[in-house]
Amino acid sequence: MNDTTFIGIIPARYGSTRFPAKPLAKLGGMTVIERVYRQVSQVLEHVVVATDDERIADEVTRFGGTAVMTSTAHRSGTDRCWEAYQKVGNGEDVVINIQGDEPFIQPEQLRALMGCFAVPETHIATLLKPFAPTRPYADLENPNVVKVVTDDQGRALYFSRSVIPYVRGHERAEWPSLKQYFTHVGLYAYRSHVLEQVTKLPQSSLEIAESLEQLRWLENGLTIQTAVTTIDTIGIDTPDDLRRAEQFLANQL
């Protein structure tokens, strides 16, 4: 990665529709936001929680982390990251946007993402996970599971809620055994000047159709380099997810 410098920014809102106060929920005796912060701090020296609520900022300060207050008007974590970078960044080359509800993110995943910037042409980096051919086809078909196709150098060609690619001449249930599918892991890193650029781009037609922000970036000619991870993690969107995460944590001990 040569001399590329990185900052990790963790957007964390209080007012989640499906799970209010989610960053402050306890998981194994520790708040979700503290778990995320500690995982990221294993790899990155400069880590900041970007929040819109004093209660989250106070919790971050309590466990010894760094928080920055950002606007309550942001529509996406990407916008919140850019404001935070403007306030507390030290001119780092790359901003890593870590979801505040991913307490099991692993150092290897962050390093894989960082490694994408060894390619000078990389504007944005993200992770893919191979879809196991033994899993039910219904899991792949789920529109909440985003699928990705790349070129031979791992650059993203398209993201979709539909199953891509289509395997002609075969029953759909056979597709995973005939073609390696990849699903998207929602972790992003941006060159800092690209992060500024993407916050200013208007919504695109493909983005609106699929409700996937990354399609806006592809439509505007940006290069999204991917890296592959096989690590299972659990994102926490609902109280039910938190219960699953508690079980996941207990199984790791």
Query: What would the pLDDT profile of 166-200 be if each residue is shown by its tens digit?
Result: 999 999 999 999 999 999 998 999 999 999 999 99
- Domain membership of residue 62 (yes or no) is yes
For residue 174, what are its two tokens? 């056979």
Mean pLDDT of the chain: 95
Tokens 């029953």 — which residue? 171
Taking the C-alpha atoms of residue 178 and residue 196, their distance in angstroms, rounded to an integer, is 40
120 in Cβ contact with 106 (< 8 Å): no
Q: Is the four-CA dihedral 50, 114, 233, 27 of positive or negative sign?
A: negative
Residue 168 lies in a domain: no
Residue 103: name the closest of 38, 197, 35 by CA. 35
What residues are paired with 69 via a beta bridge?
51
CA dist., res. 98 & res. 211, Å (int): 20
Place of tokens 């974590």: 77
Distance of CA 166 to the CA centre of its chain: 26
pLDDT computed for residue 2 by the predictor: 65
Is it the case that residue 253 has pLDDT exceeding 80? Answer: no
238 is a domain residue: yes
Could you read off the pLDDT of 106-149 as tens digits, one per residue? 999 999 999 999 999 999 999 999 999 999 999 999 998 999 99
Cα-based distances in Å from 153 to 77, 80, 83, 224, 226: 28, 30, 32, 11, 9
Residue 157, amino acid: L
Q: Is 90 within the bounds of a domain?
A: yes
14: Cβ contacts below 8 Å, ≥ 6 apart: 20, 21, 23, 24, 51, 52, 53, 55, 56
Q: Is residue 172 part of a domain?
A: no
Q: What is the pLDDT of residues 32-70, one digit of tens each?
A: 999 999 999 999 999 999 999 999 999 999 999 999 999
For residue 97, give the CATH number of its domain: 3.90.550.10
Domain housing 96: 6-126+184-252
The model's confidence at residue 104, banded by pLDDT at 50, 70 and 90, is very high
Q: Has residue 15 been placed in a domain?
A: yes
- 3 closest CA partner among 109, 110, 92: 92
What average pLDDT score do residues 224-248 get? 92
How many domains, in total, are found in the chain?
A: 1
Residue 67, C-beta contacts closer than 8 angstroms, at least 6 positions apart: 48, 49, 50, 51, 56, 57, 60, 61
Residue 223, domain member (yes or no): yes
pTM as predicted? 0.93
Percent share of the chain, pLDDT over 90? 86
